[in-house]
Structure 1
Amino acid sequence: MRQAVIVSHRGACRHAPENTFASLEKAIELGADVVELDVRPSKDGVLYVLHDATVDRTTNGAGRLSEMMSIDIDHLDAGAWFASEFSGERVPRLDAFLDACRGRIRTYVEIKEGDPAEIRDMLAVRGMLNDAWTFSFDQAIRAEARAKVPDLKRMVLYTHVGSVERAVAQDAHILEFHEENLHDQLVREAMAANLITQLFYAGSDRKVFENAVRCGVEQMNIDDMELFRRVEQDILSPAA
C-alpha cells in the first residue's frame, strides 16, 4: 500500500490565510503534492483565487467579487483576518498563482464561477494541463467543462453521481468521497474502473483518516495534512 497523494485544501489553510500565496508556500513547505484553489472572475473579467462569492469573510473589503473591478480587488488585504503577521497578503490573480505553482506543486482548480476553457488555456500555456484537474458545484459549469475542454481532467462527487458506473459514464477521471460514503468496496470498485479515488475531509478525526488509509484511498483533499501523515505512518509502518 502506497502513501496517498496529499491535496492541500485552499493551501495550508490551518497555517496561513486560505487561497493566498502564503497558504500556497506553506503547503509546499509541508510537502503537499497538490494545491486546491477556488476561482472566480471580477467585474472586468480577471480571474481571482477566492472561495466565497463575497470578499467580506477573508479580506478587509465588502461586496461580491463579481461586482468589483480588479484595480480595487488588488488593494484588498486578504491576510490580516487570519493573523496580523499576514497583513498585506493579497487576493491572488489566477495567472500569478499558477505561475507560483508551476514546477513546484500540482493544481486542482475548483471553478466557482468562470469559463472552463479560459482556465484550461491558462494551465496549458504553462505546461500544467496534464497534472491538473477541475470540478465545480455548478452543474452548468461541469457540463461546459465536459463539452468544451475534454482534455482538462474532471472530478465528480460520489454524492452527485451515486455510483461508480455513473462516474464512468460522465467520463470522470477522479471520484471524490466524503466520510459518510467512504467504503472499501466502493473504493475497490472505483479503482477497478480506472478512476482515481479521493476523500474530502476538513476535520481532524483520526478515525476518518484511519478508514481512508485502510480503504486505500489514493488522494486526500484535506486541511490537516500533518495528522494524516502521522496516521498513515502508524498504519503503513507500525512500530516493531
Structure 2
Amino acid sequence: MPESRTAERLPALLIVCALALACVVVIMTGVTPTKITAQELWGSARTPGERAFIASHRGGAESAPENTLPAVAAALAAGFEYVEVDLALTADGQAVLMHDAAVDRTTDGHGLLARMTLADVRALDAGSWYAARYVGTRVPTAGEFLDLLAERDGRALLDLKGTWTPAAAAALADAVTARGLERRVVASSFDARTLALVAARSDAIPRMAILRTLPSDVVRAIRQVDVRGIVVDRAAIAARPEIVEELHAADLRVVVYTLNSDRHWDAAAQWGVDGIVTDDPGALAVWQRGLAMD
C-alpha cells in the first residue's frame, strides 16, 4: 500500500462529519457514552520482553474452519485472551464472518460475497473443506458470533472488511451494546470512515486502526481517527521499532499481525508490542511460558 500525503491525513472530512453526528446523537438523547481507555482494555503498555496478549487469528483456524462458530468456541475454550474475526457485508447489508472477498476458498460456493444475499450465504457449507466432521457448518452472522462471545465471556478483535454503510455500522454497534460487550469487543478496520461510523453510533465501543505501512507522524494520524491504537503489519514495525515506544508514550497500544514463528515472536517481544495476532495461538502460548521461565 503506497504512502502519500493524502493517505497520511486519512479521509479527515468524512471522519469529522461522522464524529460530529455522534455529538448530535449525544446532545439529542442526553446520553454521554463512557469511552473505554486503553488501560481498561489491555492494562499498562508492555515493556520489551514482557508478555503480549494473544489473539487467535480468524477465530481459531488451527482447530476448526476459520471464521466459524466451532473455531471461535475452540479458541475461547483454550483460554486465549482474544479471538480475531473478520466481518464483511452481504449484498443486502448483513454482516457475516468472512475474510475473503469471494466465498470460494472457505465454502462450497463460488462468487463474491458482496453479490450474495444473506440467504445465499447461509445456504453454503463452510466446513467440509476443512474436515468431514465439519460438514454442514454455516457461515455465522455477526449476531451469532456475538451471542457466543457473550455466552463464553470472551473478548474479540473485529476486523471490519471493506467500506461499511452507516446502517451496517449502526447495526453492529447496536448488537454489541445490546449484549453489553462494549468492554470486550474492539472494532478495527483499514477504513477510517467505517471506524468513524461505528463511533457515530456508539463512541463507547473501542476502535483500532489497521495499517500495513506507517505514516511519518503515526501518533498524529492515529489521533485524527480517535482510536486506541493500531493493528499493524510486522514488517512496518520491524522497519521502525522505535515507534512502539512513541505510541506507548501517547497512551496508545500496538498489536502486530500475523506472527507464526518463534523468530517473529521473539522480535515482537523485544519491541514491547502489546498484542500478537497468530494462526498458532497454542504454540505461541507455550513459547511465552518458556520465555517466562528463562
Match of 1:164 among 198, 202, 219: 219
Aligned equivalent of 1:155: 208
Name whichever of 186-195 and 147-156 sits farther off: 147-156
Q: Are 2:293 and 1:237 aligned? A: yes
8 Å Cα contact 2:154-2:184 kept in structure 1: no
Higher relative contact order (CA 8 A, sep 6+): 2
Aligned equivalent of 1:132: 185
Name whichever of 142-151 and 26-35 sits farther off: 142-151
Q: Are 2:98 and 1:50 aligned? A: yes
TM-score (norm 2): 0.73
Q: Are 2:137 and 1:89 aligned? A: yes
Name whichever of 134-143 and 122-131 sits farther off: 134-143
> Aligned pair in 2 of structure 1 residues 175, 69: CA closer, same or farther (>3 Å)?
closer
The CA deviation string for residues 198-229 of structure 1, in whole angstroms up to 9 with x for no partner, is 1112x422111001122221111111112222
Unpaired segments of 5 or more residues in structure 1?
none
Number of aligned residue pairs = 237
Aligned equivalent of 2:277: 221
- For 1:160 and 1:142, the matched residues in 2 are separated by 18
Match of 1:30 among 63, 68, 78: 78
Would you tell me which structure has more helix in proportion to its own residues?
2
TM-score (norm 1): 0.89
Identity of aligned residues (%): 30
1:230 aligned counterpart, secondary structure: helix
1:130 aligned counterpart, secondary structure: coil
- For 1:191 and 1:63, the matched residues in 2 are separated by 42
Q: Are 2:248 and 1:191 aligned? A: yes
The alpha-carbon deviation at position 136 of structure 1 amounts to 1.9
Unpaired segments of 5 or more residues in structure 2?
1-48
- For 1:56 and 1:88, the matched residues in 2 are separated by 16
